[in-house]
Structure 1
Amino acid sequence: MRPSDARPHKHPPAPPLTPPRLGRRAVLAGLGATLAAPARAGRTRITLRLHHFLPPMAPMQTAVFEPWAAALAEASEGGLDLQIFPAMQLGGRPPQLADQARSGIADLVWAMPAYTPRRFPVAETMGLPFMVTSAEQTSVALHRLMTEFGGQDFAGTRPLAFWVHAGGKLHLRDAPVAGAADLRGLKLRSPSASMGDLLARLGAEPVFFPVTEMVTGLSTGVIDGCCLPYEVVPAFRLQELTRFSSEPEPGGRGLYGNSNVLLMNARRHDSLPAELRAVLDGLSGPDLSRRIGASFDRFETAGRQVVLAQGNTITPLPAAELARWREAALPVHADWIRVLEEAGLDGAAILSRAEALLAAGV
């Protein structure tokens, strides 16, 4: 699927990505204008395939990947043609995406380290419970953390951006959750092993599987609810499958924010003509991470409005209750330090640096 084949979205647009050689001239003539420009006469035209796991109408495709594809095409004068394949159209399951980038099944992938627990330990660190402020700030913090400590996590690939979605919320089918007492006995789809550990400590029964299998779980009653940001709700119509959501009161950290990475096959990256590689690298890196994070903050607001428009109930989780949840999460963080140490890393230093970056609000 080319970017132009996707459905128009109903989410607030991300700010345009500006190619470095074009000053501040707008990349997109209008929302959804994502056709690659014709290649300049005599210029090499390279087609890159980007594979991801969400449906084509998901805001990550319509408001991030498609504008990025347009920016790459314009900055390269048509030399880079990014084709987007959503919903695992190139085959496999979401946990296999990182390996698809490494093997070259896809040139680029959107991978989520939580789907392969402990394989990418530094990247997973920011996905621990209560390690997310805003998506934008946490994405910048994650990118810096990976630059400083995560060099071995993605050997054989070229990470182009790291980001975190907005803090997760609880979404329930049958009853609201206002505190840990309401979680007891509930089967909840957990977004990660570490968040599942916390949910178990709070009395719930965590179940882990990729987000793409969640609709079936809710529809059949295999699970009573899930832990996800609002941003995911419209793509899977979760507002119709759940009736209650619970969110932290404003001002504190979110329940969790899974780490994400845009990976490129290393050989494919390094084999690009130097001029095209410079364009790709110039539109990747820390600035792209920040922009994606800021986009997820906007997606969260839009997703919450969908929940409210459905007539669902949103229950606040009071600060005093969340303080008890954060205390329950301390052993989860201590266990993760040991996981990092088992991987030959300085676990205490990595977690301390992550906390410092979050506190600094980078």
Structure 2
Amino acid sequence: MPSILHRRLRASRAALALAAALAALACAPAVAQDKPVNLKMSSWVPAQHPLNPALQAWADDIKKASGGTITATLFPSEQLGKAFDHYDMARDGIADLAYVNPGYQPGRFPIMAGASLPFLFSNGKSGSAAIDAWYRQYAAKEMKDIKVCFAFVHDPGTFHARKKITLPTDINGMKIRPATSTIGQMVTLLGGTNVQASAPAARDALEKGVADAITFPWGSIILFGIDKVVKYHIDVPLYVTPFVWGMNKDKYESMSAAQKKVIDDHCTSEWAEKVAANWADYEAAGKGKIAAEAGHEVYKLTPEQLDAWRKAVAPVEGTWAEGVKKTGEDPKAVLDNLKASLVKYKAAL
């Protein structure tokens, strides 16, 4: 017969085991007990664009971190709506997450437009971390209709044209498809005419002669088939286009606290750089590919020509500043903060 002491010890061990099991049951399945959520992610670039696998990798990591309760379906190639409409699609819940180019709606997001001022960014990788860290202090006000997950940029783009451009005076009389509203202001300042066309529609505009030139990153010139139309390319990091990965607020609020934390942990400057990295490499590699194509001329500017460009586009900052003042922000402080972030992340030109 077991002694009273032994029986008490067994009972104590059993009670401890039961308590541990109950504690594990209470804690471990917290995520698993969350209701399943499927996110509709919209990307307007073609399925083969390098951004899409990066967005899918982001979603896959969220699935893992949420214990499988948050899954996502990616819809590329404007399946859910036109490129110009993606901010409103995220706002209205047509997409739960949307790839937004704020520059597609001139004047609507004046603070973010500062990121596409000429001659600021040296690269798209750390540049993406820099713009995200900077824009976080303004996003809730300027893009209040959505949850801004993170901001990022492509690798610096330049002019690609049907005729050779070397000086800012060459823009006079030309029809240019600008990447952003800020670049559009630059074109107007230099005497050119802006032609509005989304990236997927740009080749058609150039082929039909509606546009004479385009501002675009290097690799995407090939991806969108624009290299079949334009033959002259300035080898200078002229600008970047800022983007936002934006989320529908109601979708976010419908999630559990644990699921919201998973989303928040994936809406960071680190993730901005991760998502942008492969795309940045792809764009940078495009320059060499274009240079190797028959009939194409990739050329650098002389120091004198580059100086002429810097002086000619300087007034664009003043035009941008007027738009920022209407938001109640100090444009000098906004731009100084951006430049400081670029220096911090080693992305300043």
TM range (shorter): 0.7 to 0.9
Match of 2:79 in 1: 89
Query: Which residue number corresponds to residue 64 of structure 2?
Result: 74
- Per-residue displacement from partner, 1:256-289 (whole Å, max 9, x unpaired)? 1111000001111121122222222212211111
Please list the CA deviations of residues 2-46 of structure 1 after superposition, one character each: whole Å capped at 9, or x if unmatched.
xxxxxxxxxxxxxxxxxxxxxxxxxxxxxxxxxxxxxx9866331
2:68 partner letter: G
Higher radius of gyration, 1 or 2: 2
Tell me, in whole angstroms, the C-alpha distance in 2 between the residues paired with 1:45 and 1:237.
40
2:284 is equivalent to residue 301 of structure 1:
yes
Give how far 1:357 is off: 2.3
Q: Per the alignment, in what secondary structure is the counterpart of residue 160 of structure 2? A: strand
Q: What TM-score do the two structures reach when normalised by structure 1? A: 0.81
Which residue, 303, 310, 322 being the options, matches 1:319?
303
Distance (Å, rounded) in 2 between the aligned partners of 1:358 and 1:284: 19
Query: SS of the residue aligned with 2:284?
Result: helix
Structure-2 change in CA distance of 1:294 and 1:69 (3 Å): same
How many residues are matched? 315
Report what 2:4 is aligned to.
Answer: none
1:224-280 deviation per Cα after TM superposition (whole angstroms, max 9, x unaligned): 1211111322321122222221121xxxxx211111000001111121122222222
Q: Distance between the aligned counterparts of 1:146 and 1:226, measured in 2?
A: 27
TM-score of the aligned structures, taking structure 2 as reference length: 0.84
Change (3 A) 1:317 1:208: farther
Instruction: Give a deviation string over 1:72-128, Cα, whole Å, max 9, x none.
Output: 22222322211111121113x222211111111110001011011121222221112
Across the aligned residues of Structure 1 and Structure 2, the Cα RMSD in angstroms comes to 2.1
Matched AA of 2:226:
L
State whether residues 176 and 315 of structure 1, in contact with CA within 8 Å, keep that contact through their aligned partners in structure 2.
no
| SS of aligned partner of 2:80 | coil
Checking the alignment, whether the CA contact within 8 Å between 1:337 and 1:351 is kept in structure 2 is no
Where does residue 6 of structure 2 map in the other structure? none
Q: Could you list the per-position Cα deviations for residues 293-332 of structure 1 after superposition, in whole angstroms to 9, with x for gaps in the alignment?
A: 4333212223224323433221112333222211122211
Aligned identity (percent) is 25
Partner of 1:147: 136
Q: Distance in 1 between matches of 2:145 and 2:192?
A: 38
Give runs of aligned pairs for residues 1-362 of structure 1, distance below 5 A.
Answer: 44-62=35-53, 64-91=54-81, 93-173=82-162, 175-248=163-236, 254-311=237-294, 312-362=296-346
Structure 1 window deviating more from structure 2 (210-219 vs 295-304): it is 295-304
Q: Secondary structure at the match of 1:132?
A: coil
- Measured in 2, the distance between the counterparts of 1:199 and 1:321 equals 17
CA distance in 1, matches of 2:91, 2:33: 31
- 1:164–1:258 CA contact under 8 A, matched in 2: yes
Structure 2 stretches lacking a partner, 5+ long: 1-30
Q: Given residue 325 of structure 1, which amino acid in structure 2 is its aligned partner? A: W
Separation in 2, partners of 1:184, 1:118: 23
Residue type of the alignment partner of 1:261:
V
How far apart are 1:184 and its partner, in Å?
Answer: 3.7
Q: What is the rounded CA distance, in whole Å, between the counterparts of 1:73 and 1:306 in structure 2?
A: 36
Q: CA distance change for structure 1 residues 139 and 41 in 2, over 3 Å: closer, same or farther?
A: closer
Please tell me the residue identity of whatever aligns with 1:359: V
